[in-house]
Amino acid sequence: MGNSPSSSKYFHLRINVRSRSSLARYRYNSPGIQEDKVARCIRDDFEDIAIAGNRFFMVTSTGKLYEFSEGNNLEHVQAVIYGTAVEAFYEIEGLCYDPARDELLLACKIKSKTKNEKRTEEKNKLQTTDRLPVYAFSLKTMSRLPLPRFLLDRRAIARAAGRRSFRPSGIAFEPTHGTFCLISSRSRLIVEIDSSDGVPLSFMSLPKKYHPQPEGIAFLSDNTLLVSDEGHVHGTISLYGNKNS
C-alpha cells in the first residue's frame, strides 16, 4: 500500500465537502413496476459507490444494489435495482469493483438485533461473531455468489494491528498491486488484504487529527489514496499521494 500519512514522501490534502441528505435525481425502474412519468428522488441509506467501466453502482445498508449510467448535470437517469440477499444476517458497509473477475465486492457487518428479534444461524455456519464475509456479486449473471469471497477474522486482524476491534466501513481495489484495502472507522485503520485469500498484508494507521470519522476509501488510477470522513457540519476528503508524482 505504501501511502503512509507519516511518510515524508507523501503529501496530505483535505477537501471540505458539503453533505446532502439524499441521493437526488435518480429514477428507478424495477421489473413489474410501472415507471412514473415524473422522476422521483430516491431516498435510502446509501453506503458506497463503485464504477465498472461506464456502469455505476450504489449499494444501501440493506443490500439493495442500484445500477445507473452517468448523467449530465441536473439530469435525471434511470436506475435498476438488484437484490443481494444479505439483509437477513448482515448489513452492507462497503462496495468496490474487482476488474480481474468482473465482480463487485460487498463488505459486511453483523446486523444489529432488536430485543424481540431472534436470528437463526446459517446452515453453513459462515456467520459468526469473529468472522465477517466479503461477498462477490457477478456482473455477468447479476447475482451474488453463494459463498463469500473472503472471510475476515476481525479479532485476529485487530490483534495484529494493535487495535481493540476491527469492523470494516469501506473497501477499495488497490490498482498498483491488485490487492484490496478495507477501512475501519472506529479503529482508524486501513488493512490491505491479498486478492486470492484475504490474508492481511499490511496496516496503515489514520491520525485522529485528520480523521475524526473515516468511513470511505478509494484509489485513483495513479494510486493516490482517498479517505472520506463524516462530520457534523461537513465531510472531508483526504488525499495521500506521492510528492514526486
Tens digit of pLDDT for each residue in 23-63? 333 333 444 333 443 456 778 899 999 999 999 999 999 99
Tens digit of pLDDT for each residue in 214-227? 999 999 988 999 99
pLDDT band at 242 (very low <50, low <70, confident <90, very high): low
Residue 38 grid coordinates: 415524473
- For residue 153, pLDDT over 70 is answered with yes
Percentage of residues of the chain with pLDDT beyond 70: 75
DSSP per-residue string spanning 133-187: EEEEEETTTTEE-SS-SEEEEHHHHHHHHT-S-----EEEEETTTTEEEEEETTT
Look at residue 54 in the predicted model and tell me its pLDDT.
94
**Does the CA dihedral 14-16-20-26 come out positive or negative?**
negative
- For residue 172, pLDDT over 80 is answered with yes
Mean per-residue pLDDT for 151-173? 95
Residue 195 grid coordinates: 486478492
**Domains of the chain, with CATH numbers?**
10-32+39-242 (2.40.128.630)
Q: What totals of helices (H) and strands (E) does the chain contain, helices first?
A: 1, 18
Tens digit of pLDDT for each residue in 136-148? 999 999 999 999 9
Type of residue numbered 186: R
Distance CA 174, CA 1 (A): 8
Distance CA 213, CA 228 (A): 8
- For residue 124, pLDDT over 60 is answered with no
Model pTM?
Answer: 0.80
Look at residue 39 in the predicted model and tell me its pLDDT.
52
